[in-house]
Amino acid sequence: MENIDDLVARLAQDASHVKPAPPPFMLSLKWIAAAVIYLGVSLAVSGLRSDLMATLHNGWFLAELLSLLGIFIITALSAALLAFPDLHQKRLLVFAPVLPVFVFLLVMYFSWRNDSPPAPMPMHSFECTLSILSVALLPAVWTFYAMRQYASTHHRLAGSVALLCALSVGALWLRLHEETNSIVHVIEWHYLPMLVVAFIGMWLGRRFLKW
């Protein structure tokens, strides 16, 4: 009996201190703050579109930016919850991105309806998709890396939501940088590819978030 007591005492002394995981809200705030700084630096390097102040008077453009921002913030929170195996008992919040995505789709539909006569299409096309992907790469990497430190049990959904969060940063950057008002171009080369890549995030989540 004494040997067992000694063993228990020795194991207790050797046990390393485990740092508790931060709450999902704090975790998402860290990601949001890092992304805002990154977005600001990216815009400082690339420059803002020259007609930004005039374009902000367009209510549908402003609604597009705000709905994109909503997607970014809510997906960051959802991704933070998905990093934990029990979702912190907030399962409904995990699916909260459905709401801002729905609002965004409505905004783009009415923007398209109100784009009459249609604004001229820019000369480029897939370059916009590549630009969004390049800007979204760093936020995607740090989000996936941070999520690997925890124990997600919803790998596919976590990967898709995390990638959508990063892509929304790239989309915000491009809308504030690229001088185009063509809604058809924006839908075709900005947002539809984002949905495709978000689905690819399901495979990436299974590949990199499984433990």
For 110-139, what is each residue's pLDDT tens digit?
999 998 888 888 888 889 999 999 999 999
- Kindly report the pTM of this predicted structure: 0.87
Residue 1: pLDDT over 50:
no
Q: Cα–Cα distance between 111 and 59 in angstroms, integer?
A: 9
Q: Please indicate whether residue 74 or residue 2 has the higher confidence score (pLDDT).
A: 74
Instruction: State pLDDT tens for residues 3-37.
Output: 666 655 665 565 555 566 678 899 999 999 999 99
- Give the pLDDT score at 10: 60
Amino acid at 177: H
Taking each helix axis as running N to C, give the angle between helix 24-46 and helix 126-148, from 0 to 180 degrees, rounded to the nearest 10: 150
Mean pLDDT of the 61-70 span: 96
- Give the pLDDT score at 135: 96
Backbone angles phi, psi at 28, to 5 degrees: -65, -35
Q: What percent of the chain has pLDDT over 70?
A: 90
Taking the CB of residue 32, how many other CB atoms lie within 10 A of it?
Answer: 17
Q: What percent of the chain has pLDDT over 90?
A: 67
